[in-house]
Amino acid sequence: GAVVSQHPSWVICKSGTSVKIECRSLDFQATTMFWYRQFPKQSLMLMATSNEGSKATYEQGVEKDKFLINHASLTLSTLTVTSAHPEDSSFYICSARGPFDNYEQYFGPGTRLTVT
Amino acid sequence: EDQVTQSPEALRLQEGESSSLNCSYTVSGLRGLFWYRQDPGKGPEFLFTLYSAGEEKEKERLKATLTKKESFLHITAPKPEDSATYLCAFQGSGNTGKLIFGQGTTLQVKP
């Protein structure tokens, strides 16, 4: 149980284009989803917290207009990187927290974004 | 300020050589201390949650313990397949559900 998927697993796009990444909780309803980015040999950095049906809460320093987050249902959240630039190249990981009392978060496999 | 520090940054062990990873934290109102394993190019894999000082949990060769200031991940007789980065994270008393991650310990187990 508690499986989270991401799609795509990797994507290459040209500078200036937009890319959408999907995060799905497969066997539970996620009340909250989180988006992280991870640079090589660094830990996870939280970008935003997403609750179903409401606006995402972004961490300080994360551009809301650049990283659009939509949490349209209890099993799906999307992250759209708009007007991507090479510095946006990174490993993006989502996690989902279910309606459990244990505060546990389950992570997706990650999406490798390369902007050329 | 809430923060978590992991040590060592990197650890090399021979197969069968037991050791411990440390995660020290300063947080007001701990709701949970989490351990994850991350393999290169993959998302973190959940290992343990600890909620209160004195709590211990085990899974195969891994054992996690928690005190009021730190958590340890003990690895007994490790195998090469235990090589990975081990991350600890905590959730504070706020209701956001945010996890604060340490920098991780990269473990390499040589046969």
Q: What is the pLDDT of residues B77-108, one digit of tens each?
A: 999 999 999 999 988 776 677 888 999 999 99
Partners of B92 in beta bridges: none
Rounded Cα–Cα distance for residues A115 and A17 (Å): 9
> Which residue in A has a C-alpha nearest to residue B5's C-alpha?
A43
Could B104 and A106 be called an inter-chain contact, meaning their C-beta atoms sit closer than 8 Å? no
Cα torsion A21, A24, A30, A35: sign: negative
With a cut of 70, say whether residue A1 has pLDDT above it.
Answer: no
Query: Mind listing the pLDDT tens digit for each residue in A49-75?
Result: 998 888 899 999 999 999 999 988 889
Report how far apart, in Å, the C-alpha atoms of A11 and of each of A26, A42, A74, B37 are: 22, 21, 25, 24
Query: What are the chain B neighbours of A104 within 8 Å (beta carbons)?
Result: 32, 34, 46, 49
Q: Beta-carbon neighbour count of residue B41 at 10 Å?
A: 11
Nearest-Cα distance to chain A for B96, in Å, is 8
Of B42, B98, B104, the CB nearest to A110: B42
| pLDDT attached to residue B97 | 77
Question: Who's near B90: CB < 8 A, 6+ residues apart?
Answer: B2, B4, B25, B27, B30, B31, B32, B33, B34, B99, B100
Q: Identify the residue with better confidence: B99 or A103.
A: B99
Question: Who's near B35: CB < 8 A, 6+ residues apart?
Answer: B23, B47, B48, B49, B50, B64, B71, B73, B86, B87, B88
Could A112 and B41 be called an inter-chain contact, meaning their C-beta atoms sit closer than 8 Å? yes
Q: Are B48 and A115 in contact (CB under 8 A)?
A: no
pLDDT band at B2, cuts 50/70/90? confident
Nearest-Cα distance to chain B for A50, in Å, is 10
Mean pLDDT of B14-39: 92
How is residue B54 written in tokens? 């004195």
Could B41 and A2 be called an inter-chain contact, meaning their C-beta atoms sit closer than 8 Å? no
Query: Mind listing the pLDDT tens digit for each residue in B62-71?
Result: 999 999 899 9
How is residue A79 written in tokens? 């992250």
Mean pLDDT of A93-104: 82
Burial class (CB in 10 A: 0-12, 13-18, 19+), B72: middle
How is residue A94 written in tokens? 């989502």
Return the amino acid letter for A7.
Answer: H
Return the amino acid letter for B44.
Answer: P
Bridge pairing between strands B100-101 and B84-91: antiparallel
Could B97 and A49 be called an inter-chain contact, meaning their C-beta atoms sit closer than 8 Å? yes
